[in-house]
């Protein structure tokens, strides 16, 4: 009987070792087959017009609001709404962003999204995207202020536009 138990134990250990070798070999193969992407740091986070707008926003409302740049909608919107597929809802907003987001300083709660419109916003596909972002933000009660890249605003005018949009 003990010879039988020894034989079963040896066979079981051999099977376990074989399975583990296969699993680890597959993982090593998968790791090696994954593409290794390379990246370089961008010289500038914002374009020149976006940087100028950012500076103007900080001058206009920096005492009242935090100004965040290049904010993805998924960072400010909850896609897990009852009655809808949260995965599909996330996929719909994933990759969409606004140029700037103003948040109150007490709770860092989103108060106003800002888009700086340049010539690319005149393209039909971009107009469609802009309308959808406006709809999404409107449904979420986040006002959207559109600024023309060509507008020459001063801090006081911009602060007034923001006050009007937030109220």
Write the pLDDT tens digit of every residue in 87-144.
999 999 999 999 999 999 999 999 999 999 877 777 888 889 999 999 999 999 999 9
Confidence of residue 10 (pLDDT cuts 50, 70, 90): confident
Measuring CA to CA, which residue among 140, 146, 142 is closest to residue 122? 146
95 — alpha (psi -120 to 50), left (phi > 0) or beta? left
Sheet with 97-104, edge to edge strand ranges: 65-72, 97-104, 110-117, 144-148
**Residue 118, pLDDT score:** 79
pLDDT at 13 over 90: no
Cα(133)–Cα(125) distance, integer angstroms: 12
Write the pLDDT tens digit of every residue in 55-64.
999 999 999 9
Higher per-residue pLDDT: 7 or 26: 7
pLDDT at 28 over 80: no
Cα(126)–Cα(133) distance, integer angstroms: 10
Cα(4)–Cα(35) distance, integer angstroms: 49
Please compute the mean of the pLDDT values over residues 75-91 and round it to a whole number: 92
């Amino acid at each position: 009987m003990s010879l039988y138990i020894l034989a079963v134990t040896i066979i079981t250990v051999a099977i376990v070792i074989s399975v583990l070798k296969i699993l680890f070999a597959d993982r090593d193969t998968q790791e090696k087959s994954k593409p290794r992407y390379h990246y370089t740091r961008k010289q500038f986070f914002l374009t020149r017009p976006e940087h100028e707008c950012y500076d103007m926003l900080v001058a206009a409302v920096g005492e009242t609001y935090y100004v965040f740049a290049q904010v993805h909608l998924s960072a400010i919107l909850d896609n897990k709404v009852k009655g809808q597929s949260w995965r599909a809802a996330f996929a719909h907003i994933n990759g969409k962003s606004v140029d700037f987001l103003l948040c109150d300083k007490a709770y860092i709660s989103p108060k106003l999204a800002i888009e700086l419109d340049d010539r690319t916003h005149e393209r039909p596909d971009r107009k469609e995207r802009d309308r959808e972002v406006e709809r999404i933000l409107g449904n979420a009660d986040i006002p959207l202020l559109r600024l023309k890249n060509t507008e020459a605003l001063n801090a006081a005018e911009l602060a007034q536009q923001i006050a009007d949009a937030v109220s």
